[in-house]
Structure 1
Amino acid sequence: MLELRYGLGLRDPLTLQEIGVEVGLTRERVRQIECEALDKLRLAVRSQNLRELLV
C-alpha cells in the first residue's frame, strides 16, 4: 500500500482513490491502512533506536 501511495519503486504515486480502485477498497479504508502501516514503521524505528541506546 505504501509503495503505491508514495511511488516507491518504478511507479508514480497514486491517490487514495486510485489505490482503492486498483485493490478494491474504499478511499477511507486505504487511508486507514496507510495510517496503520506508518504507525508500524514509526514503532519499528523507535524500537531500533532504543535498542541502540541500550547496547
Structure 2
Amino acid sequence: MSRAKWWTISDWLRENPGDPDVPAMRDFLTRARRSHLEYGRDYLGWGVFVLRPS
C-alpha cells in the first residue's frame, strides 16, 4: 500500500470521526503500516520520511 493511500485514509479519519467505519479503517491503516515496516521495507532497502501534522 502506498504512502499516498495512507495519507488519504488518515485525512478521511480526521474528517469523519463519527463515521461507523472509523474503527475498521483505523485498524486497516495500522496493520498496513506495521506490515510495511516489519516486512516490506526489508525488500526495498531504502526509506522516505515525510512529516505531517497529526
TM-score by length of 2: 0.45
State the structure with bigger RCO (CA 8 A, min sep 6), 1 or 2: 2
The structure carrying a bigger helix percent of its residues is: 1
